[in-house]
Structure 1
Amino acid sequence: MPERQASPAPARMAIGHRACLPALRARDDHSPAGPRCADVARGQEQLQRRASQLRSAGVQARRLDPEDQEARQAPQAPGKAPADRCPTGGQGPPPQALGRLARDRGGQGRSLLADHPLTRRPLVRTATASVAALAMLVTLGGARAAAASLPALHAGADRAIRDAHGRDVLLRGMNVTPLLDSYQGNPRMPTVVPLRPRDYVEMEAYGFDVIRLAVTWSKLEPQRGHINVNYIDRIATIVRRAAQHGMYTVIDMHNGGWGKSVTTRPAEKCPRGLRPAHGWFGAPAWATFTNGRTTCHKNPEQKRTPAVKAAWLNFWTNHRAPSWADGRGIQGHLVAVWGALGRRFAGNPAVAGYDLINEPDPGGVAPSRLSFYDGRFYSSSIDAIRQGEADAGGFSHMVMFEPNITWSTGGLASHSPRPGFSNDPNLVLAPHIYGRDAHTDTRPISEVGRVLKSQARRVGRRAQAYGTPLWIGEWSFSPWDTDSFKKLRTHINIQDSRRWGSAWWQWKVACGSPHSFPGLGSKPIHEPLGNLNPVWCPSGKPLKRPRGWRAIVARAYPRFSPGTLTELHARGGRFSLAGRSRCNAALRGSDPLACQLVVWIPKTHKHGTHHGHRSRRPQLMAHHMGKVHVAKLSGGWLATAIVKGGRYSLSTR
């Protein structure tokens, strides 16, 4: 597609947003921010130089920029754009940039930048009027009214995820996979379950405030150098619908077994003791180079065959076929895809961040070199995303990165990038913590509990070395595991004691997914599949949800905490939390949301669940806060309170 016209000084606009991060971080504990954006000019020059270097290195993401069809039909926001919040270079985005920023928000009739949490000017109102308005908002609209303007998120300097009002944010939610492009063992069986309107409603009723949306490179760039615009539009649709139900989206570049094309050919015969393997999901066929290695294997999971490892090795070394005239290698193309995604969602606060690659495989790289290759790919992708955000006049989103899939046995020092691999301030470590290397089916809770606690200590220390927040990108157990309920309890105690957010794996799974096929044949397994929403395969008939699991997955938690959340304990709808802040009358008057605590509380029942028993309205005890309101929502309640400053606490009676 032809290259779009560039808007005036796009890099300069985004740099203004990014340079405001220190000011936002200064508000993380509600301390005085000092002169705002004092380093904007220097930051603009640095990012402009970096953008120029990236362009010269071949990261030409602009020409891949898609256009949202819905935004084309939406009316343009009239009126004059507000001045940039950062005084240096403060001309504000031109109309072209406003149009791009509005495309994911439906093009409402006023300037998006006036509403954007990172650029809007604080409203000067009396504290009483503001609190009353906020209470009315929660009562009338609930989570959906709040979702209309999800505040942008960033990684705080204190290693907490924070919103534009400086509040401590816990992202708790679900992995969803409706957009996966997977190997299909049986052409009559779909490989994914689509997200329907009732799914968003149900996830909202669980109290989730985030989804981790799995997307695949094979769909984003099905042909080398050509971005699938329709697929990105489908991503944008899910982002928008999730936001309508109060949920952020983490866009996850999902991969398992390299790609669906790494499969044993029908004519190939495996040696004695080995068996053929089918493909999985991830990379496109044109980016797959296996160096003639076999797909035959002994691994029951099939994902790490010699051919799969060879494909990953060629990715890490950025292999390029001699016929590729654009100068990019395999890795360079994926980096460019991230640039396109960064530009597409540059101004969308409902996108919490980007997970650069799911469970990257070492691919046979020597442990002494693996952290170098990890860091090179991650830093290049981060730079491409930042350039895309700059080109579109957007703002810096969080970027999440994972250790290699073998980190639990291989060690984090060699199976994750070295600390300092990037100087970007908006990063989050996002490991997966399962308490196992393959399965926990028959392992007792005593053993799995030790592994979970050890893994938590290790990733916690690694996040501290990076100076980043930590967010668990995947966790779960099977209902058919030994001691599965006790394992769940152990896991959530680890999460709550460390105030970590997480995303459960996964919402729904199809009987046609690669997990259902033990080999190349078209006959799937005849057994249960899934966990929270299990089904019987191959029919796909829903099974009863595991008893008691909802109380764990949908347990109470604070979504937004003023200042810093220091303590959290939850068991179903019963909870206690504590925090500390520097809220005062001046801050409450200038930005009322900065001092608003928001807590999800799931529905509970009186003794038993027989007919006639109603769900119990939570009775709360609050310390050092006022204006406590409880609004009933589907599946539970949303409690809000205005923190007065210092140490505060909230708990159920």
Structure 2
Amino acid sequence: MNKVRRPLVAVGTALVLVLIEAVADPTGLLALVGWPGGAPQPQLGWPLARYVVFLPVLVAVVWWSAARAGTRFWTSAAGTTLAVLLAQAATALVMTGDALFSGWAGGYVTAKAIPAALIVAAATRLAGGRRGQVELRAPGTVWPYAILLAALAPLVAGSWWTGATSTSGIPAPRVDQGPFAVISGVILLAGAALLSMRWMRRRVDGLLGIWLGALVAGGMLGILQALFGLVADDGLRGDMWPLMAAYVHIADGLSYGAAIGWIPAVAAAVVDRIRGSRTGDVTVGAAERSEAAASVAASVVAFAVVAAVAASTIAAIAPAQAADPQPTIPQGFLRAEGGRITDGNGNDVLMRGVNVNQLVDFYQPRRDVPATRPLSEQDFADIASYGFDVVRLNLSWSTLEPTRGQLDTAYLGRVKDAVAWAKENGIRVVLDMHQDGWSKAATTDGTVCRPGTDPMWGYDGAPAWATISDGAPRCAFTGRDISPAGDRAFENFWFDTDGVQSALARTWGELAAEFKDEPAVAGYDLMNEPGFGETAPVTTSQQLGRYYDAAIRQIRTGGAPQIVFVEPSILWSGLGFDTGPRPGFTSDRNIVFSPHLYAESITMDTSLGLPAIVSIERQFDLAERVAAEYGIPLWSGEYGYWGDDASIASRIDRYATAEDAHALGSAYWVWKQACGDPQNGIGDVGLGLVPENCATGADAPGNRHLLGVLSRAYPQSAPGRIDTLHGDGASLLLTGSSSRRTCGLDVWIPGTTKPAVHTTGVEGARLEQQPGGWRFTGCADGDYRVTTS
């Protein structure tokens, strides 16, 4: 009776949880299976995967695990955890067709899986009937299965143990991290598997016992990695990163055990069957030898099968990537080279500047209050007077292509004017396809928002023809970036419903073709803070990478050689880290990783009044770590926005010090923000480096300390590689080394007082005054040093 009652209780509890969460969660993001609203679209396929795939897999595995492992609380909890992770992985597999990616993606629901598992296990324990006397079984030989689980890990490490949490010194089965990481990672995983499989197999028989042992072993490896990370990753630095990193490590390990654990489990089942058929009349010693031989044989066969699959996958991918030609970059254009942004003549280029949002098509909360401030050539002259040499020019798809397939010539002319003004003032431009909250659509009249959400303003982004929300309500949850309508619109974009993603890729090709011969255009930022839709990480990793690859191909087909800037999803801006597209999402090498470094600013922790998840200083390390995995340079497209003057004063100096220490460039948010900008609210002052007096429409006094720090001395370009950089006002310490003679030293020094410049290893030095400061230039060959005061 209990063998049926326990599974019924477990499945019933799981389904009740699903129902309660679906009703309680207005966004569908926090529930095991959510329903944020909007009409179902069965013809598309992917919207139904969460229901026609996730739910059946969840029910089947919960039933199976409750029947086999439901007699004990912890084995039951492990079984339900396995069920949720497998359901998520199966859903991702249907959506993407990528088995390894989907296995890793299963770990994304760990924060949902574990609480659900504990609840289901508790209900099964209390209402599943009398347990009776449960005897422990002899575990038999488990070491071949433990070794097999660990031996498979290096083959799939490209899907697991990557990203911001991956650093040298942490045991991980990644060959590219060096012998210590891979050997220690494999040994620790094997040891954890040996312990957990023995423990599980005494309590759960058959295939499930080994599989649950693999699941627990992966989690144990994650815990060990987190402990190593406290030392190797400088964990104790005043933020919550050690806890977040530990969660990611554990989630990675659990998903690995869930996705790969079936292989040793099947091997064990085969051995059990062989053993059962051979031990009828033989001696115990012969039976043990038979078991050991069969265990080894099964391990070898399974390992060979997986190795062959991995090899064939790599062989299938490699030729396609190798066949893509790299663009020829003409003289005078910036490029990604050797992990740095360079000018092609052997000089590092930092690019420090500001965002300009004065061409964005914002929602206008009040018709009598403009949402943007006018953009003129004087803006660029003023920008240059602070020593800024780059503008991230925010554009709106809604105005660029209001009618599908037709670029608006008037708007394109305004973009061209801005580029010309920038060039005239010695400023490069990054063209950024900007969006916030997907589009400028606001909550329509008569919309009834579910409890937990509120009517919202619109913001900016996509045109109406590219906004497919399927009737989901435009209601905000915790802010502009989470709304059922916006999430559904993003989901439809990621899966290219009605070809809207392909349309934007083609638009990029047409836009880039307009600037293909313009070296003042440093590059193209393909989408500002991409939204996560409804099915992260399918959207924020695989589908985001596919969009980037498609847009890059269109840009190169249009003949544009400039850098392409690729961002992780908005989760990076909100958390301080994210997964992002997997390495290899494009074969193009003239790309730059461009996260927004908003730690301690607009991140979730700050908005909730929590300690920092990622500190200002640590965010640079995490971003550089991910850029290094891609093998490309790092440049931050946005930072700042710390709010009031006190918050700015406590953080801008720390940011500047860290930015200099990493010898990086970035673009501050924002140059001017109008009083009617929906992100500004409608108050007394329009925020920005140049504030607006909302009563008069004139410029208001700026934050002098902030401007002083941002306009500090720095090299706009430097020969070879920068080794040391620290600027403080007009004072500068710069050291570097060049392998060949180059005259690319170009240093900005603020102020009206002529600075004292001292150099070593610099020839042909010149100091010229210009609006707002001084320009120091020279040549270097080998080691050099520049100090100013």
Equivalent residue for 1:647?
Answer: 783
Structure number, greater radius of gyration: 2
- Whether 1:406 aligns to 2:571 is yes
In the TM superposition, what whole-angstrom CA distance separates every residue of 1:123-146 from its partner, at most 9, and x where no partner exists? xxxxxxxxxxxxxxxxxxxxxxxx
Equivalent residue for 1:118?
Answer: 330
Give 1:485 shift.
Answer: 1.3
Is the 1:408–1:455 Cα contact (8 Å) retained in structure 2? no
TM-aligned CA distance change 1:583 to 1:473, over 3 Å: same
TM-aligned CA distance change 1:220 to 1:477, over 3 Å: closer
Letter in structure 2 aligned against 1:528: V
Give 1:277 shift.
Answer: 1.1
TM-aligned CA distance change 1:407 to 1:515, over 3 Å: closer
TM-aligned CA distance change 1:176 to 1:413, over 3 Å: closer
- Structure 2: how far apart are the matches of 1:466 and 1:209? 26
Is the 2:601–2:642 Cα contact (8 Å) retained in structure 1? no
Pick aligned residue for 2:748 from 585, 592, 600: 600
Equivalent residue for 2:363?
Answer: 183
TM-aligned CA distance change 1:191 to 1:443, over 3 Å: closer
Equivalent residue for 1:339?
Answer: 509
- Structure 2: how far apart are the matches of 1:449 and 1:491? 16
In the TM superposition, what whole-angstrom CA distance separates every residue of 1:30-75 from its partner, at most 9, and x where no partner exists? xxxxxxxxxxxx99x9568x99xxxxxxxxxxxxxxxxxxxxxxxx
- Whether 1:222 aligns to 2:387 is no
Equivalent residue for 2:528?
Answer: 358
Equivalent residue for 1:139?
Answer: none
Pick aligned residue for 1:508 from 656, 661, 672: 672
- Whether 1:625 aligns to 2:762 is yes
Give 1:367 shift.
Answer: 2.1
TM-aligned CA distance change 1:432 to 1:411, over 3 Å: closer
- Count of aligned residue pairs for this structure pair: 470
Equivalent residue for 2:738?
Answer: 581
Equivalent residue for 2:422?
Answer: 242
- Whether 1:309 aligns to 2:521 is no
- Structure 2: how far apart are the matches of 1:249 and 1:366? 31
Is the 1:289–1:311 Cα contact (8 Å) retained in structure 2? yes
Equivalent residue for 2:160?
Answer: none
- Whether 1:199 aligns to 2:369 is no
Equivalent residue for 1:289?
Answer: 468
Letter in structure 1 aligned against 2:343: D
Is the 2:433–2:525 Cα contact (8 Å) retained in structure 1? yes
Q: Secondary structure at the match of 2:558?
A: helix
Q: Secondary structure at the match of 1:307?
A: helix
Q: How does 1:559-570 map to 2 (within 5 A)?
A: 559-570=716-727
Is the 2:447–2:473 Cα contact (8 Å) retained in structure 1? no
Residue ranges of structure 2 left out of the alignment (5+ in a row): 1-318
- Structure 2: how far apart are the matches of 1:534 and 1:491? 21
Equivalent residue for 2:456?
Answer: 277
In the TM superposition, what whole-angstrom CA distance separates every residue of 1:141-188 from its partner, at most 9, and x where no partner exists? xxxxxxxxxx310001x2111113221111011100121011122222
Give 1:417 shift.
Answer: 0.5
Give 1:352 shift.
Answer: 0.2
- Structure 2: how far apart are the matches of 1:601 and 1:336? 42
- Structure 2: how far apart are the matches of 1:270 and 1:631? 60
Is the 1:161–1:170 Cα contact (8 Å) retained in structure 2? yes
Give 1:538 shift.
Answer: 5.7
Letter in structure 2 aligned against 1:253: M
Equivalent residue for 1:233?
Answer: 413
Equivalent residue for 1:476?
Answer: 640
Moved more, 473-482 or 191-200: 473-482
TM-aligned CA distance change 1:547 to 1:481, over 3 Å: closer
Equivalent residue for 1:432?
Answer: 596
Moved more, 281-290 or 547-556: 547-556
Pick aligned residue for 1:155 from 336, 340, 346: 336
Is the 1:479–1:546 Cα contact (8 Å) retained in structure 2? no
In the TM superposition, what whole-angstrom CA distance separates every residue of 1:344-394 from its partner, at most 9, and x where no partner exists? 1111111000000000001112325631101100000000000001xxxxx
Moved more, 346-355 or 539-548: 539-548
- Structure 2: how far apart are the matches of 1:579 and 1:628? 16
TM-score under structure 2 length normalisation:
0.57
TM-aligned CA distance change 1:368 to 1:337, over 3 Å: closer
Is the 1:212–1:252 Cα contact (8 Å) retained in structure 2? yes
In the TM superposition, what whole-angstrom CA distance separates every residue of 1:452-499 from its partner, at most 9, and x where no partner exists? 223222111000000111001001134515442130011111111011
Is the 2:385–2:773 Cα contact (8 Å) retained in structure 1? yes
Give 1:438 shift.
Answer: 3.1
Moved more, 569-578 or 527-536: 527-536
RMSD of aligned Cα (Å) = 2.7
TM-aligned CA distance change 1:204 to 1:505, over 3 Å: same
Q: Which runs of 4+ in 1 moved over 6 A?
A: 440-446
Is the 1:309–1:364 Cα contact (8 Å) retained in structure 2? yes
- Whether 1:169 aligns to 2:349 is yes
- Structure 2: how far apart are the matches of 1:473 and 1:291? 32
Q: Secondary structure at the match of 1:186?
A: coil
Q: How does 1:383-422 map to 2 (within 5 A)?
A: 383-389=553-559, 396-407=561-572, 414=579, 416-422=580-586
Moved more, 629-638 or 364-373: 364-373
Is the 1:479–1:531 Cα contact (8 Å) retained in structure 2? no
Is the 1:478–1:530 Cα contact (8 Å) retained in structure 2? no
Give 1:397 shift.
Answer: 0.6
TM-aligned CA distance change 1:169 to 1:618, over 3 Å: same
Is the 1:621–1:652 Cα contact (8 Å) retained in structure 2? yes
- Structure 2: how far apart are the matches of 1:479 and 1:280? 19
Is the 1:315–1:330 Cα contact (8 Å) retained in structure 2? yes
Is the 1:443–1:482 Cα contact (8 Å) retained in structure 2? no
TM-aligned CA distance change 1:446 to 1:265, over 3 Å: closer
Letter in structure 1 aligned against 2:517: G
Is the 2:575–2:603 Cα contact (8 Å) retained in structure 1? no
- Structure 2: how far apart are the matches of 1:572 and 1:219? 40
Give 1:413 shift.
Answer: 5.9
Equivalent residue for 1:64?
Answer: none
Q: Secondary structure at the match of 1:155?
A: strand
Give 1:449 shift.
Answer: 10
- Structure 2: how far apart are the matches of 1:254 and 1:481? 27
TM-aligned CA distance change 1:383 to 1:412, over 3 Å: farther
Residue ranges of structure 1 left out of the alignment (5+ in a row): 1-41, 52-85, 87-116, 120-150, 321-328, 390-394, 518-524, 585-593, 604-614
Is the 2:334–2:343 Cα contact (8 Å) retained in structure 1? yes
TM-aligned CA distance change 1:547 to 1:444, over 3 Å: farther
TM-score under structure 1 length normalisation:
0.68
- Structure 1: how far apart are the matches of 2:573 and 2:522? 27
Moved more, 263-272 or 355-364: 263-272
Is the 2:532–2:569 Cα contact (8 Å) retained in structure 1? yes
Give 1:433 shift.
Answer: 0.6
Give 1:544 shift.
Answer: 1.7
TM-aligned CA distance change 1:545 to 1:448, over 3 Å: farther
TM-aligned CA distance change 1:47 to 1:633, over 3 Å: same
Equivalent residue for 1:532?
Answer: 689
Equivalent residue for 1:348?
Answer: 518
Letter in structure 2 aligned against 1:318: D
Is the 2:542–2:581 Cα contact (8 Å) retained in structure 1? yes
TM-aligned CA distance change 1:365 to 1:186, over 3 Å: same
In the TM superposition, what whole-angstrom CA distance separates every residue of 1:285-336 from its partner, at most 9, and x where no partner exists? 011111221122342x33321111111000001001xxxxxxxx01010000
Give 1:284 shift.
Answer: 0.3
Q: Secondary structure at the match of 1:425?
A: coil
- Structure 2: how far apart are the matches of 1:272 and 1:563? 58
